[in-house]
Chain A
Amino acid sequence: MIRVKNISKKFENGGAEVWAVNNVSFGLESGIFCAIIGKSGSGKSTLLAMLGALDKPSQGTIDVDGKDVTLMSEAKLIDYRRNRIGFVFQNYNLVPNLSALENVMLPLEFAGINKNDRKSRAKKLLLQVGISEDKHNRKPLHLSGGEQQRVSIARALANSPKFILADEPTGNLDSNTGRTIVDLLKRLAKSENTTIIAVTHDQTIADQAEVVLQMKDGKLSMK
């Protein structure tokens, strides 16, 4: 489970201090599908970056299964990102000159899994997210937006993370494909017992979430 306590993130902007996230606290149990909604600039992506240890909060604590992420060394943070977190991005962020299969194999390589094992695991994950075998060796540019997002989800699942952090996962997709992706995330939350935190301003995602948090001017409120 994750417990966020009084975290804030401050930026300097032309000499003035801007609090992108201001004294936010919440907690989530494992296997929950949570949506954080809010307008652009409300601080939801900054909050997600801190939850995923991509950025450090200016103050506050993030407790994951009894360990404070904000106090971790750089080496521990790499380990945390590699094994506990899976990221899904709005624009997929697949490595363009690697095939779908190779993209999914990347986090497994970083985790030190041997080549044969990571290949079979990546194939299994791609099939699980609905990418047929004939597309496994295609480069991202030769896949549709929905397919690229599925590959991105498969990559996020590679090291069986405790959390999947999704930043606007349907932002670049049409509504039908977006709905399929949300269904997929929901299904995975249950089957893999993974907590999914999706940042979105898409109300249809929020409608399917078990927990909805709203960000406004850096402050969080339960909806």
Chain B
Amino acid sequence: MSTISRGMRNAFRNGLRTLSITVILAMSIAMALIMLMAMKTVEMKIESVKSSVGNTITVTPAGVRGFEGGGELLGSDDLATIQKTDNVSEVTAIVSERLNSDDTNLESPIEPGSFGERQNNRGYNGGGVPPESSSGDRKFTMPVTVTGIDNLENLSALNMSKLEITAGEKFLSGSEDKIALVGKDLAQKNNLNVGSIFSAFNQEIKVLGLFDAGNTFANAQLIMPILCVQEISGQKNMYNSFIVQVDSVENLDKVGDSISSALEDKADVVSSAQSTESIIKPLENIKSISVYSLIGSVVAGSVIILLTMVMIVRERRREIGVLKAIGSSNYGIVSQFISEALCLTLISSVAGIILGALLSNPVLKVLVNNASADGASGVPGATPGRGMMRMVNAIPGIQNTFRDISAVLDWSIVLYGLVVALLIAIIGSMLPAYFIAKVRPAEVMRSE
């Protein structure tokens, strides 16, 4: 029988004690594993949020958000200033307009409903100029939104998750033609096809293509060349927003600061880093909780095994004396006790890993619920405003950040778990090893 197997046999010398230690240690290891899984899952989520938000900065006129607020739109000189800023790789300019029944012969496919009516009554829907109904009652219809843009590939600028051309074709960048891409619901409502003509601001506009953006709001819109929108709406050289692409995420803050200081108080600058920050803050909170809990679990596990081993060593002082008296070295006895601690820890690890795998998702859900509740109530800047929400909602899947979070158990985590367990066993055996070395062989001569 070797030192190792003797240590393993000793682990089962007292069945009840072995069971108690295993259960407590397994819970501690399960906790460590759950926190490790939570940490890794949250890290993955943070990475995915960061990569989906991307390295963009949104520049809007000061005091203006979409069709709300007031102030002056941005101009061509502002666009040129941004384009000249270091580390800016691309700028997508946008002009937005709302066409009400006085401006167009198109009718929005979106029914006002109670929300639209309320917004209209409060003057939020583009002035709310209702057409006169046949009965003489004034009936309100939703305005049609037009987005003027040059770069149809920039989906986040278009506030869309996809842009699928279902008929016709896209317009070219730099086009000044009076042409439009029509959302499929808007086209259906107004019987428009490729080549159809409709009016906007008393100009005839030709339908170049139809598109499906995958959501009701976007499918009720028009997308037109920016120069065309600027001309027909009388907003030459004016812009509602710029989506600025920065060469790397690391430069986001620097470029944001440069644009802010160059445009002074003319513009509001929101970088995706800020949006990301507010989205990932609750995730960072979960990560911090996980790290502290992980450290706590490892310390608790180490203390459990440490106290157990100290108790066992104290109990077996005489036996240690016997082993020394019959020729064992300190090294041999310490190895025997370490293998006993390792055996207890390994059994607990297996139980802990099973327990951890079963409990990881419920625990992560509790953490997520608490963290997202905290994020929504009181952490400054954690609750995104309307403008920020617009950007957040534009990012595919972000709104599900918290909903679809679930723990991931892979082999690397199990391996980490075993390493943690090994660490616990080694830390827990260090002090007992010192005690073993201090036991004098003459202990064996004690009569009790």
A105 within 8 A of B: yes
A81 within 8 A of B: yes
Q: Chain A residues near B9 (CB, 8 Å)?
A: 97
**Which of B103-111, B192-200, B326-334, B379-387 contacts the other chain?**
B326-334
Known contacts: A52-B325, A82-B326. The answer to whether A93 contacts B318 by CB under 8 A is yes
Q: Chain B residues near A54 (CB, 8 Å)?
A: 321, 324-325, 440-442, 444-445
CB of A87, distance to nearest CB on chain B (Å): 5
Total number of A residues with any Cβ neighbor in B under 8 Å: 33
Q: Chain B residues near A79 (CB, 8 Å)?
A: 327
- A46 to chain B: closest residue by CB: B445
Known contacts: A49-B442, A97-B13, A102-B1. The answer to whether A90 contacts B327 by CB under 8 A is no
B325 touches A81 (CB 8 A): yes
* Interface residue SS majority, chain B: helix
CB of B8, distance to nearest CB on chain A (Å): 11
Q: Chain B residues near A53 (CB, 8 Å)?
A: 441
Bound Cα distance A153, B447 (Å): 19
Q: Chain B residues near A48 (CB, 8 Å)?
A: 445
B319 within 8 A of A: yes
B332 touches A110 (CB 8 A): yes
CB of B114, distance to nearest CB on chain A (Å): 79
B10 within 8 A of A: yes
Bound Cα distance A89, B326 (Å): 12
Q: Contacting B327 at CB < 8 Å: which of A45, A95, A110?
A: A110
Known contacts: A87-B444, A93-B444, A110-B332. The answer to whether A105 contacts B327 by CB under 8 A is no
Most buried by B among A46, A83, A106: A106
The 8 A CB mask of B415-448 against A (1 = contact, 0 = none) is 0000000000000000000000000111011010
A111 within 8 A of B: yes
CB of A76, distance to nearest CB on chain B (Å): 12
B322 touches A93 (CB 8 A): yes
Bound Cα distance A93, B440 (Å): 15
B326 touches A110 (CB 8 A): yes
Q: Chain B residues near A90 (CB, 8 Å)?
A: 447
CB of A73, distance to nearest CB on chain B (Å): 12
Bound Cα distance A111, B324 (Å): 12
B326 touches A97 (CB 8 A): no
Total number of B residues with any Cβ neighbor in A under 8 Å: 24
CB of A168, distance to nearest CB on chain B (Å): 9
Q: Chain A residues near B324 (CB, 8 Å)?
A: 54, 78, 81
CB of A86, distance to nearest CB on chain B (Å): 8
CB of A37, distance to nearest CB on chain B (Å): 17
A159 within 8 A of B: yes
Which residues of B, 170-219, contact A by the 8 Å Cβ criterion?
none
Q: Chain B residues near A52 (CB, 8 Å)?
A: 325
Which residues of B, 265-304, contact A by the 8 Å Cβ criterion?
none
Bound Cα distance A93, B316 (Å): 11
Q: Chain A residues near B325 (CB, 8 Å)?
A: 52, 54, 81, 87
The 8 A CB mask of A55-81 against B (1 = contact, 0 = none) is 100000000000000000001001101
Bound Cα distance A97, B444 (Å): 17
Known contacts: A49-B445, A54-B444, A54-B445. The answer to whether A105 contacts B1 by CB under 8 A is yes
Which residues of B, 1-41, contact A by the 8 Å Cβ criterion?
1-2, 6, 9-10, 13
CB of A53, distance to nearest CB on chain B (Å): 8
B1 touches A45 (CB 8 A): no
A123 within 8 A of B: no
B445 touches A107 (CB 8 A): no
A4 within 8 A of B: no
A127 within 8 A of B: no
A interface list, Cβ under 8 A from B: 45-46, 48-49, 52-55, 75, 78-79, 81-83, 87, 89-91, 93, 95-98, 102, 105-107, 109-111, 155, 159, 167
Question: Can you identify 17 A-B contacts, CB atoms within 8 angstroms?
Answer: A53-B441, A54-B324, A54-B440, A54-B442, A55-B441, A75-B329, A78-B329, A81-B324, A87-B444, A89-B322, A93-B318, A95-B319, A96-B13, A97-B13, A107-B327, A110-B328, A155-B326
